[in-house]
A and B are shown apart, each in its own frame.
Chain A
């Protein structure tokens, strides 16, 4: 077909292979992009700054000798460079991102706008407190939400991410033990736990003892009792656990732990399943971090920043680190030094400079206010509903390690169904990329072979889940039909094919370096 100018308006019938090479290496909207070091120049700048009118240095002879070598780009070049890079990334806004245990939910842009209000985004952490009453009130409001939602007595806001929150909670536990003259050495950690749990415990000198799971993927209180002793400081338990199951004996576990004089640390990474449905404080938890970047939707940003406030029981509250809030309303103040602690307060120290992740507090509070407690509860229910919908819709084709029983907010499959097919969990994940999906979490938790952990979150519509499920079923059928290359060669359509991780580790290239000058031709 041609239009009146004679321009063809429909594809040629002879159009063939779309994968022919191009001169540039680009594929239409997918642009190859060099490093800034290859396209920038040290004398180019995209910021207009005038040389100071006078310059009489007071540097005491400590001037930098030689340039930084940092390349600069003009503003339009900078814009294009980073926009092109962004187009090589998959985000929640791109499509289904069912990364188990990471809670990739919708990030409302209202929260971005609120965090950028000058009264929040442009205030200094050491301004006189009299000039930031609104900031303290915001922190107090967030604290109240976190305490009410968890049924806990106190909150330490300052930890900067989940693992930092773990550190905070475990330091509070260590301090509480020290206060009663004990130096217990062992921390119990289930085998299904996130790697950060044992790493945190080890960082502050605890020995980690693994707690094996029973056949149904949960922790048996009997096993915990057998491991408890007067040398056990705490258990670090994720609930719901990383198999997507609620630890149904959590109260018995908490009782046993407390009876042995130990503390119950909960990893709150999966709080999104139960917010508004049950309260960790009622389950016997002594400390729990809350990943604001998971449950409360502050953006993951390609790996941070996060925020990991820790709620504390009355037994641990006195040991919360500085800074913390005291008082309320117009009388709120910030306790910044251990010396300012009141009677009965024994702050264990300081975890970071200043007050923590204010930008994330604003976003999280905006999210909480938007949802309201009714909406948060509904969000948990929808997250669990969506995960179970995926589970039942795939259960006949893929294998469930702990049987076809209800899960919480994530559905865990193993690779038993892939046995002898020539397709691995990794291959399957990469084929999902070609179908336009971000893969689920793979090979975690470690207790399940070839794990595939799918967390759709409450942000997915039924139509979106139906298409996702149909795609997964199509892939699963392709495995059964022996279409192995569809998997082992995947991804074919991503900005890059599979990358050589072994080479990256064996011959590490961790920065750009100027290429050696090409030797003069010897003619």
Chain B
């Protein structure tokens, strides 16, 4: 077997050296009647070529985003990732290293974590960021738990514009931890009055902008209302590119900012792995979950980096830790930080402007067509259409015409009675030809 270097002669020599007659003598602690005598009913080994053939066949059954006019978003976005990113993250020293527990031989990982933390802090205009969470949804769940620890309260209020999967993650975690969640009903036009729900029991208010329907939210009044009642404002975003153009959480005085970092440097990959961004005001740093990288010096006084403030973490504090997270999203962090370095402020701003401009063009093209209404007053690169037919049906028919047109709200919220709504995203990958194809196909299926 090509991955196993020991030869039969090696095995025999080694068993002799160990002083046992057979390999099974080393498994003697497994109860005799629980040892597998026959192999489970699974295939035997295959060559690299055979495996490649099998998996390639499965892969071709799926429609890849790059091959069609593609307008799906709702929490994961199709962006162009420069070739440099994928090359660099496959460097052996990055790909095959571990969590940097031995900092002297992990300065590469530690320095990019430090750079990432700074980039996320700058992007969100927050004071401090951690070294990543699994994804945006789990980061949101952790943000709510962190707010509970800080305020010593146990009720979270969720906006109706929060991505429904994110809301479900928060509700699952809260239900299991015995905390309370008040979740507003789906808020397509961003008119909810969340401030009225903040009371003295409220630990935090969780609001997403751009929200799942694409609307931009001004969080400043909500933040003020939170402060008046001793609650925290948790700002959520699912499209990190938006922060190149729209007011960031820090500018709206969020206490904790969390979001999905997939759209910088990372592909769609059917939902993961992605990278959760987590930032907060500096005064809350000791309540943060996850790993933090900090600057220090070595024995010769040279600048270097280490994991720090680990007394918050499970491997030190066990059941008193701020979170159970251990492995996070190291390599997705690297992809994010490389892409962000390639972009820089100038590149990110332009990328965000192109995304917005493309969405505006699509909205203008579709608006007023028979059976189509653009719901949003404001948006970044994603907005919601109200259609004259159920959106799930429309999406299937569009797919048959070779257009992936968006996410029916009913896919996320099957029982909300919003079957006529379609969330549609535009990014820099969309061309005028894509938009025309979308508009034409939509006209045919409505």
Which residues in chain B, 2-41, are within 8 Å of chain A measured between CB atoms?
2-7, 10-11, 13-15, 17-20, 23, 25-31, 34-36, 39-41
Render B103-128 as a binary contact track against A, CB cut-off 8 A, 1 for contact.
Answer: 11111110110110111011100001
A-B contact pairs, 21 of them (CB 8 A): A82-B91, A85-B111, A89-B94, A116-B86, A125-B270, A126-B74, A137-B61, A161-B134, A276-B39, A301-B330, A303-B98, A303-B291, A305-B331, A354-B272, A368-B42, A370-B3, A372-B45, A379-B1, A495-B105, A503-B297, A504-B306
Residues of A within 8 A of B184 (CB): none
B88 touches A72 (CB 8 A): no
Residues of A within 8 A of B251 (CB): 64-65
B342 at interface, CB cutoff 8 A = yes
B256 at interface, CB cutoff 8 A = no
Task: Say yes or no: A353-B75 contact (C-beta < 8 A), given A88-B111, A305-B134, A497-B300.
Answer: yes
B45 touches A128 (CB 8 A): no
Render B346-372 as a binary contact track against A, CB cut-off 8 A, 1 for contact.
Answer: 111111011011111101000000000
Q: A45, A137, A167, A194: which has the most chain B beta carbons within 10 Å?
A: A45
Residues of A within 8 A of B378 (CB): 58-60, 62
Task: Say yes or no: A358-B341 contact (C-beta < 8 A), given A123-B65, A171-B172.
Answer: no
CB-contact partner of B324 in A82, A199, A497, under 8 A: A199
Which residues in chain B, 49-105, are within 8 Å of chain A measured between CB atoms?
50-52, 54-67, 70, 72, 74-76, 78, 82, 84, 86-105
A313 at interface, CB cutoff 8 A = no
In this complex, what residue of A is CB-closest to B98?
Answer: A300
The distance from the CB of A103 to the nearest CB of chain B, in whole angstroms, is 10
Residues of B within 8 A of A391 (CB): 18
Considering the chains assembled together, what is the distance between the CA atoms of A113 and B53 in angstroms? 12
9-residue interface stretch from A223-231, A414-422, A508-516: A508-516
Residues of B within 8 A of A359 (CB): 269-270, 272-273
CB-contact partner of A60 in B6, B20, B175, B377, under 8 A: B377
Task: Say yes or no: A389-B104 contact (C-beta < 8 A), given A82-B112, A125-B76.
Answer: no
Which residues in chain A, 408-454, are within 8 Å of chain B measured between CB atoms?
408, 429-430, 433, 438-439, 444
Interface size class of A (residues with CB under 8 A): 35 or more
A3 at interface, CB cutoff 8 A = no
B271 touches A355 (CB 8 A): yes
Considering the chains assembled together, what is the distance between the CA atoms of A379 and B129 in angstroms? 40
Render B296-323 as a binary contact track against A, CB cut-off 8 A, 1 for contact.
Answer: 1111101011101111011111111101
A384 touches B23 (CB 8 A): yes
Task: Say yes or no: A70-B340 contact (C-beta < 8 A), given A195-B317, A203-B177, A251-B31.
Answer: yes
CB-contact partner of A504 in B74, B294, B330, under 8 A: B294
Task: Say yes or no: A45-B74 contact (C-beta < 8 A), given A58-B378, A278-B36, A501-B306.
Answer: no
Considering the chains assembled together, what is the distance between the CA atoms of A464 and B14 in angstroms? 13
9-residue interface stretch from A7-15, A33-41, A258-266, A472-480: A33-41
Considering the chains assembled together, what is the distance between the CA atoms of A200 and B173 in angstroms? 11
Residues of B within 8 A of A392 (CB): 17-19
Render A290-313 as a binary contact track against B, CB cut-off 8 A, 1 for contact.
Answer: 010100000111111111000000
CB-contact partner of A64 in B61, B88, B247, B293, under 8 A: B247
Residues of A within 8 A of B131 (CB): 303
The distance from the CB of B300 to the nearest CB of chain A, in whole angstroms, is 5
Task: Say yes or no: A301-B331 contact (C-beta < 8 A), given A45-B346, A462-B6, A508-B308.
Answer: yes
A67 touches B3 (CB 8 A): no
Task: Say yes or no: A512-B108 contact (C-beta < 8 A), given A43-B345, A62-B378, A202-B319.
Answer: no
Considering the chains assembled together, what is the distance between the CA atoms of A359 and B95 in angstroms? 14
Residues of A within 8 A of B332 (CB): 301, 304-305
A274 at interface, CB cutoff 8 A = yes
Considering the chains assembled together, what is the distance between the CA atoms of A360 and B273 in angstroms? 7
Q: Other than the known A71-B341, A86-B92, A505-B310, what 4 A-B pairs have Cβ atoms closer than 8 Å?
A: A82-B94, A370-B2, A374-B45, A497-B104
In this complex, what residue of B is CB-closest to A376?
Answer: B42
The distance from the CB of A192 to the nearest CB of chain B, in whole angstroms, is 12
The distance from the CB of B92 to the nearest CB of chain A, in whole angstroms, is 4
The distance from the CB of A85 to the nearest CB of chain B, in whole angstroms, is 4
B341 touches A78 (CB 8 A): yes
B331 touches A89 (CB 8 A): no
Considering the chains assembled together, what is the distance between the CA atoms of A379 and B13 in angstroms? 17
Residues of A within 8 A of B52 (CB): 110, 113-114
Task: Say yes or no: A201-B319 contact (C-beta < 8 A), given A245-B29, A499-B304.
Answer: yes
A126 touches B407 (CB 8 A): yes
B272 touches A302 (CB 8 A): no
The distance from the CB of B70 to the nearest CB of chain A, in whole angstroms, is 8
